[in-house]
Amino acid sequence: MSAAERVQAAYAAIERAARPEIWITLRPADDVLAEATAIDARVAAGADLPLAGLVAAVKDNIDVAGLPTTAAAPSYAYQPPRDATAVARLRAAGAVVLGKTNMDQFATGLVGTRSPYGAVRAASDATRISGGSSSGSAVAVALGLADVSLGTDTAGSGRVPAALNGISGVKPTRGLVPCTGVVPACRSLDCVSVFARSLGLARQAVAIMAGPDGIDPLATLLRCPRGPSPVSTLRRGGTPSPLSPPWPGERAQTARSCDSRPTLAIPLPSQLDGMADGWPEAFAAAVARVRAAGCEVVPVDIGPLLEAATLLYGGAFVAERYAAVGEHIAAREELIGRTLDPVVSRIILAAGKHGAAELFADRERLDRLAASAATTLAGFDALLTPTTTGHPTFEEVAADPVGVNAGLGRYTNFGNLLDLAAVAVPGGTAAGGPFGIMVTGPAGSDGRLAEIAALPDEVAVELLVVGAHLDGQPLNHELLAVGGVLAGPAATAPGYRLYALGTTPPKPGLVRGEGGASIAGETWRLPAAGFARFMAGLAAPMAIGRVRLDDGREVLGFVCEPAALAGATDITGYGGWRAWLAR
């Protein structure tokens, strides 16, 4: 698909989605289309633009030239003179920016509800939160409106929304991607994060954005011991924290091939208490898939990390939030409860009361916890946890905004405090909704973490669906019930025909035939055992066969027994089942 075609499809999808709360500023379609047309011309002339044909969304605390930066606070808005370094590098690689996305104000929160521009609803359940603070960026990707999006991550904002919306989120090593042009939440802890439907695309975006820019003093080139990936050869400057590589006992592991069997730590059973109903079982199923992929998994006491997590908001480190925007809020107290969110304002104004002595005491406490955590995790390649603890409703957040937020960050809040990298990926379903898992490791281990996170997919079955099993359709629950995870939109190669069958519920039949076309659908990843269970219940006239995609790959997919086509309606011209239903 050309860049211009992708832009046209994106704006059509944005209109269909009718989710205005995702965006704070959406660029005029004509401007974006003109930019995409120029990208196509450069590609045709031989330019190497690895992200050409992709559209991006950018969290509204990251500068995009020509668009206001608000950090979800109208009173804070300014016109940046240039793109943030991360944005400029994505655009230079051919990505086209659609607009700026909604967020928890001043990047303070993990809920996605703390914005005067509206609370962002989850992609798959409008009664539940999207997660924050990078709420709009995550949902834009989950709904297919953008291919890749930028968020930021201080407490988990690049990971929690990924888990709650069934997509991948990468929180790189601090300083791997410069924060030039990013409104700080906690300057020394902030990261630019990336959302995408596929982990591979998210990693590609990180690699393109990585490297010092000569402006951000915390973005410094340094070779790390973990593998040849460009993502794993960069890390921040400054004094390494106690959990910077190598962890004690890790030095001997660095010579091991990335093909060796990873050893992962997981929390003790008691440290999984308090998760939502069905979530401990979903994590157990994810652990089983990781073991089946060849990983050794060992329960350990992660108490020091969980205690460190409480320091992010419960100690003096929160004072850095006041340093960032506290004076702005203090000078505009009449706006609190109007355009300044009261919960955010209360947190940031209170943060200004911490003194230097308290900060140094908490720094010493954190160092001791980090040393203890390093001893606990010695010899492990990474820590595997649930990404978060549950998927709250809007009512639950309204009843206890601070408590719910704190619970969501149980497994993420310690990451930046201890200078860790993390990758959050879909991990199946829990209570009928998305469930995510997270792989966390020392600074500079970004490449290795991504390899580990991708291992379960290597033993998964990729299945193309084009009808009643599509996301949101009547039989989609059958895929969710066997651990299916949505991989993303897909389309067949030209040469297929689609027929509306007289079945209950209504479903289409896909066949290869003369005069056919490319048919829209989705690919899902199913664990091998789950695929076997699914096949056992497959009803005629459906069958599973090999289907060629428009990217040249062949995957398993739904096809139809030819005898069922008698009297069926040829709907090939609509290009897909959803288009036929919406005719």
pLDDT tens string, the chain, 583 residues long: the values are 899 999 999 999 999 999 999 999 999 999 999 999 999 999 999 999 999 999 999 999 999 999 999 999 999 999 999 999 999 999 999 999 999 999 999 999 999 999 999 999 999 999 999 999 999 999 999 999 999 999 999 999 999 999 999 999 999 999 999 999 999 999 999 999 999 998 999 999 999 999 999 999 999 654 333 333 333 332 233 333 334 344 433 333 333 444 578 999 999 999 999 999 999 999 998 998 898 888 999 999 999 999 999 999 999 999 999 999 999 999 999 999 999 999 999 999 999 999 999 999 999 999 999 999 999 999 999 999 999 999 999 999 999 999 999 999 999 999 999 999 999 999 988 888 899 999 999 999 999 999 999 988 777 789 999 999 998 899 988 887 777 778 888 999 999 999 999 999 999 999 998 889 999 999 998 877 778 888 988 888 999 999 999 988 999 999 998 889 999 999 999 999 999 999 8
Residues of the chain with CATH 3.10.490.10: 466-581
Task: Give which of 151, 147, 140, 161 is closest to 191, Cα–Cα.
Answer: 151
pTM of the model: 0.80
Alpha helices in 443-574 (DSSP H): 446-454, 476-481, 528-536
Distances (CA, A) of 107 to 37, 110, 154, 337, 420: 34, 8, 8, 17, 19
- Count Cβ atoms below 10 Å from residue 129 Cβ, excluding itself: 28
Cα–Cα distance measured from residue 112 to residue 98, given in angstroms and rounded to the nearest whole number:
20
Q: Is residue 157 among the annotated active site residues?
A: yes
Q: Which entry of 124, 133, 137, 345 is annotated as an active-site residue?
A: 133
Q: Is residue 133 among the annotated active site residues?
A: yes
Q: Token digits for 249?
A: 């006992």
Q: Token digits for 11?
A: 């704006």
Give the residue carrying structure tokens 């955010």: 344
Cα–Cα distance measured from residue 91 to residue 96, given in angstroms and rounded to the nearest whole number:
6
Q: Which entry of 124, 135, 149, 157 is annotated as an active-site residue?
A: 157
Q: Do β-strands 148-153 and 191-196 pair in parallel, antiparallel, or remain unpaired? A: antiparallel
DSSP 484: -
Distances (CA, A) of 318 to 65, 154, 330, 338, 364: 30, 11, 16, 24, 16
Q: Token digits for 103?
A: 């967020």
Q: Token digits for 461?
A: 């079955």
In angstroms, how far is the first alpha carbon of the chain from the final one?
Answer: 24
Residue type, 258: C
Task: Give which of 192, 10, 180 is closest to 95, Cα–Cα.
Answer: 10
Residues of the chain with CATH 3.90.1300.10: 3-458
466-581 classified as CATH 3.20.20.30: no
Cα angle value 247/302/288 (rounded, 5°)? 95
Choosing among 3.40.50.300, 3.90.1300.10, 1.10.4080.10, 3.90.420.10, the CATH entry for 3-458 is 3.90.1300.10
Per-residue pLDDT reduced to its tens digit, 215-229: 999 996 543 333 333
Cα–Cα distance measured from residue 248 to residue 246, given in angstroms and rounded to the nearest whole number:
6
Distances (CA, A) of 379 to 249, 271, 299, 308: 5, 21, 13, 21
Task: Give which of 471, 383, 485, 382 is closest to 436, Cα–Cα.
Answer: 485
Cα–Cα distance measured from residue 126 to residue 103, given in angstroms and rounded to the nearest whole number:
17
Q: What share of the chain is helix, strand, coil (3-state, %, to 5)?
A: 35, 20, 40
In sequence order, the 6+-apart residues with CB closer than 8 A to the CB of 193 are 134, 150, 151, 152, 153, 157, 158, 159, 169, 170, 171, 172
Cα–Cα distance measured from residue 155 to residue 38, given in angstroms and rounded to the nearest whole number:
38
